[in-house]
Amino acid sequence: MRKSAIACGLLASAAFTSPVWANADVQKLSADPNNWAVQSGNYAGTRYSTLDQINTSNVGSLKVAWTFSTGVLRGHEGGPLVIGDTMYLHSAFPNIVFALNLADENKIIWKYEPKQDPSVIPVMCCDTVNRGVQYAEGKIFLHQADTSLVALDAKTGKELWKSVNADPKRGETGTGAPLVTKDKVIIGVSGAEFGVRCHVTAYDINSGKKVWRAYSMGPDSDVLLDPEKTMSLGKPVGKDSSLKTWNGDQWKIGGGSIWGYMAYDPELNLIYYGTGNPSTWNPAQRAGPDGKQIDQKWSMTHFARDVDTGVAKWAYQMTPFDEWDYDGINEPILADIKVGGADRKVRVHFDRNGFAYTLDRATGELLVAAKYDPKVNWATEVVMDPKSPQYGRPQVVAKYSTFQNGQDVNSKGICPAALGSKDQQPASFSKLTGLFYVPTNHVCMDYEPFKVSYTAGQPYVGATLSMFPAPDSHGGMGNFIAWDAAAGKIVWSKPEQFSVWSGALTTAGGVAFYGTLEGYFKAVDQKDGKELFKFKTPSGIIGNAMTYAHGGKQYVAIFSGVGGWAGIGLAAGLTNPTDGLGAVGGYAGLKQYTNLGGSLTVFSLP
């Protein structure tokens, strides 16, 4: 390994200083590049490593170092953690956790297999995935499908405590990765497709006791908003900002799932995350009493919250009165870049709606909003003039609206499809280039709303979808792009046959890594996207690339195990083209290239 990487790791560990409110253990471990101590690589969520033994000049020589099967044949999202000599990895339902000894032929140290009621499977939207465990202070934290948040002894796998976060019988499920900050472990809940009013909750890491909970919609006291101090686009949100934007008590079944990756700024003591779609997918059923659009705050929103109290510092709603299921859960990435010639501490977010947003992470000021797929057509732009009453709002193209003249409308050729220009697959920010590397979907849809009644624990969707590749394009369903977040421009784009549903990784070696739905693990040059390496893994990839070093050697690893929303047809054996919320037909060709799996493939130089 190059001296620069080793020195960087030693300096980070030796000279580590942390604000008193950060979790010092997590901060210290993630500052050492030999570890991969947080699902997103670090608190900022950059998925960037300073390791550089594997670089653009030698990455083409990568070989498989070892593999490991989880024994579960469903979609494998997220990725493993590495803390010193131990790797921790997870599976899809039933959410098995393994600890492997990297210093002894990767032997299994312990295995934790929770006993979960399989009745949770039918209420899990879009496959039985889990996005990973987290580590802090000798504990492994797992958010199970049945919403139980479990703390395990990292040395033995013994269960230390368990807190039930929600109720699957109401359609509430757990798929997200926890985030540990200070003395709290924070987790959200899924269920918007079942009419759940979703929330994010902080638990004490030592006892499992609930510290605070913030709902996505409802009274200010439930959403944890300060009407005078919580800001949105430079103005206080005002009293009852959520209640005023819902018809009657529809907010009680309002959705706003929270299952994407979160980020944390220790200096500001703020966590960042996004909320999902309002329930139901039929916009006409959510219209105001006069039959007009209402915003349905705070679904489709990115929040910045105080870790200690949960009170929101600021909120920004990307897609008011969502008509397309453009979930706002995609990960926030924290970076320091120049915008308009000035140094700014920003939060960058690639939304499902096809727009990439650059905001000041302290104030929520909107700095840039631009399309990161040129085929996005449902809106022309996001208004950037602070003096305009439309400031910060997308300008919807009537032809692609699914709600017109007070009625739901069948609309065709909407780009992107409901799974967005990017879904859960996290992007990466490279400190080497100052660019963001984004796995994307290049998919459009036809959208047919229909009336649906609410029953607790039953699907509350209200739309039938058909998906297909973006027309008049390269014919594929995905791209891997490099993005300039200050200019709001694509720097380069690499087409792929299917959506790139894998999380990206960048390193100081100048390489960007990602996986494809048909199962290829690829490495490209960060400068121009030139492909430098590819390897066909046993199954389609929807997991996140990660890297670590052990014994002086750098490794790169990836889960393979096709599934998730895009691969739900294969994962669940579905064949009706409109099943899987429209994905089965759109990705029907995937079965010609891959099959089910659930394994980890680890690469190194010879």
Give the bridge partners for 531, in sequence order. Answer: 524
User: Measured between alpha carbons, how far is residue 228 from residues 220, 239, 311, 415 in Å?
Assistant: 11, 8, 12, 37
Q: Which of 220, 265, 295, 325 is catalytic?
A: 325
**Cβ contacts of residue 547 below 8 Å, gap of 6+?**
36, 49, 51, 54, 505, 507, 513, 554, 555, 556, 557
3-state secondary structure of 413: strand
Answer whether 556's CB lies under 8 Å from 603's CB: yes
H/E segment holding residue 24? helix 24-31
3-state secondary structure of 331: coil
Residues in the chain: 606
Answer whether 426's CB lies under 8 Å from 544's CB: yes
> Distance between CA atoms of 274 and 448, rounded to whole angstroms?
26
Q: What are phi and psi of 61, to 5 degrees?
A: -95, 5
> Distance between CA atoms of 198 and 66, rounded to whole angstroms?
40
Q: What are phi and psi of 226, to 5 degrees?
A: -100, 110
Assess whether 325 carries a catalytic annotation: yes
> Distance between CA atoms of 198 and 256, rounded to whole angstroms?
6
Token code pair at residue 38: 């947080």
- What is the three-state SS of 345-369? EEEEEECCCCEEEEEECCCCCEEEE
**Cβ contacts of residue 221 below 8 Å, gap of 6+?**
none
Beta strands in 175-247 (DSSP E): 179-181, 184-187, 199-204, 210-215, 231-232, 235-236
Answer whether 271's CB lies under 8 Å from 305's CB: yes
> Distance between CA atoms of 188 and 120, rounded to whole angstroms?
17
**Cβ contacts of residue 600 below 8 Å, gap of 6+?**
67, 68, 69, 70, 80, 89, 557, 558, 559, 560
> Distance between CA atoms of 376 and 379, rounded to whole angstroms?
7
Catalytic residues: 325
